Amino acid sequence: MDRIAITGGARLEGEIPISGAKNSAIKLMAASLLTEEPLRLTNMPRLADTRFLGKLLRRLGTDVEEQDGPEGGETLLTTREIVSGFAPYDLVRQMRASFNVLGPLLARTGQAKVSLPGGCTIGARPVDLHLKALEALGAKIDLHEGYVYAQAPRGLKGGEVEFPFVSVGATEHTLLAAVLADGETVMRNSACEPEITDLADCLNKMGAKVSGAGTPTITVQGVSRLSGTTHAVLPDRIETGTYALAVAMAGGEVRLTRTRSDFIQALVDKMIEAGVDVSPNADGLTVKRNGGRLKAVEIHTDPYPGFATDLQAQFMALMTLADGESVIRETIFENRFMHAPELGRLGADISVHGGEARVRGVAALEGAQVMATDLRASVSLVIAGLAARGETIVNRVYHLDRGFERLEEKLGACGGQVRRLKGESVEPEVD
């Protein structure tokens, strides 16, 4: 199993182009099930998660063709016919978001059998909201032996869906199903993330009638069929924020291109408060830190446009070197402080009590063997390693490969001493 080795102390200088958003790309890929015509996605990231979903889509009947376009990766998806409505556990378990093929299968064919996605290391993340929303659209749902059996032999019907709490996955899933339902669907307390708007924009290009995406109330006028289209995946705001924090951690000056600073405004505000120079520009933003100790600040995660939970681990890494004590409150997922003990192996001073972590800044971090526990935790350890003395080795980087494209190459182009080690991972010793 691969590992990532980081030799700390090198400043980052240069430019990093931001890839297409993973969290948008995988839902856009699922939208290809809604039409027999080709869906061409540009600015596509090449990640383990997109490969996992591509494998599942091929099983269902989608022809998936990857190629290089003038502005990066492109994926052409054509589902002339759904050859199977069965999504087995061995494929769905590899990535939670693959569960979202249920809605499109049901909308197009009237039936589906999809495995429940199973547990998650960062919290329960139940799919109850997804299933209740589909039931509100007229689907009959049965659960047997870990599988969802869904039927709507006369097609889905428009309905009223009110989410008890904001859920990005449930909002996207309901949207994917409602576009082919008969009549009007009104979704209340919907998630407002940019990825929701991106999905709606693509569906509208395909002939859907979606309004209100990006607000808590989304209205869908169902149509009888969708056509193919070409759509560019929006920039990855989590990758943008991650590299911005990497520059703040290591020091230096880097221009992040092909992205939008407004997608991470909550993070930008906190970075500036911590003493980092962040300057938005037409093609992205420039991040600079040239000396001076960071200031401790408080954050709490919230649904968009609040501070993203997917940037919490990376920000915690930054605060390990800040002057004073910072408080980080996680309100989205339970169990999302598993990176704290690993940062502790590098010399960080962090105490966790329930959904709150207190980070007392230290003068320096020291390189060590650490272990990634999830996608965002893994990159937080890379960020910390950029500033740690000596060498840091991050084990279990398959988590990292799920969401970051060419990370070693992008950091290396700016002077970061980051390399991939092939072969068996070495588990850190338990103290």
User: What digits encode the pLDDT tens for the residues 96-115?
Assistant: 889 999 999 999 999 999 99
Annotated binding residues for UDP-N-acetyl-alpha-D-glucosamine, as ranges?
A: 96, 125-129, 310, 332
Does residue 429 surpass a pLDDT of 50? Answer: no
Residue 427, domain member (yes or no): no
Annotated binding-site residue numbers for phosphoenolpyruvate: 22-23
Whether pLDDT at 419 is above 80: yes
**CA 74, CA 9: separation in Å to the nearest integer?**
36
Total number of domains in the chain: 2
Q: Are residues 356 and 387 in the same domain?
A: yes
Looking at the structure, tell me whether residues 392 and 363 fall in a common domain.
Answer: yes
> Does the pLDDT at position 225 exceed 50?
yes
One domain, residues 41 and 177 = yes
Question: Does residue 206 sit in the same domain as residue 262?
Answer: no
The pLDDT of residue 118 is 61
Report yes or no: 140 and 152 within 8 Å, Cβ to Cβ. Answer: yes
Is the bond preceding 235 in cis, omega lying within 30 degrees of 0? no
pTM, full prediction: 0.94
- Is pLDDT larger for residue 184 or for residue 291? 184
- Which residues form the catalytic set? 120
Spatial CB neighbours of 41, under 8 Å, sequence gap ≥ 6? 25, 28, 29, 74, 75, 76, 77, 230, 231, 232, 233
Looking at the structure, do residues 250 and 268 belong to the same domain, yes or no?
yes
The verdict on 10 and 158 lying in the same domain is: no
User: To the nearest 5 percent, what fractions of the chain are helix, strand and coil?
Assistant: 35, 30, 40
Would you state the pLDDT for residue 120? 43
For the chain, give the mean pLDDT: 94
Burial class, 270, CB count within 10 angstroms (exposed 0-12 / middle 13-18 / buried 19+): buried
pLDDT band, residue 424 (cuts 50/70/90):
low
Is the domain of 241 the same as that of 123?
no
Task: Count CB neighbours of 187 within 10 A.
Answer: 26
267 lies in the same domain as 371: yes
DSSP annotation of 235? B
Question: Is 431 inside any structural domain?
Answer: no
Domain extent, residue 207, equals 22-232
pLDDT in tens, 292-346: 899 999 999 999 999 999 999 999 999 999 999 999 999 998 777 999 999 999 9
The pLDDT of 261-289, averaged and rounded, is 97
**Residue found under tokens 């109330």:** 217
Is the per-residue pLDDT at 45 higher than 80?
yes
Q: For residue 428, what pLDDT band results from cuts at 50, 70 and 90?
A: very low
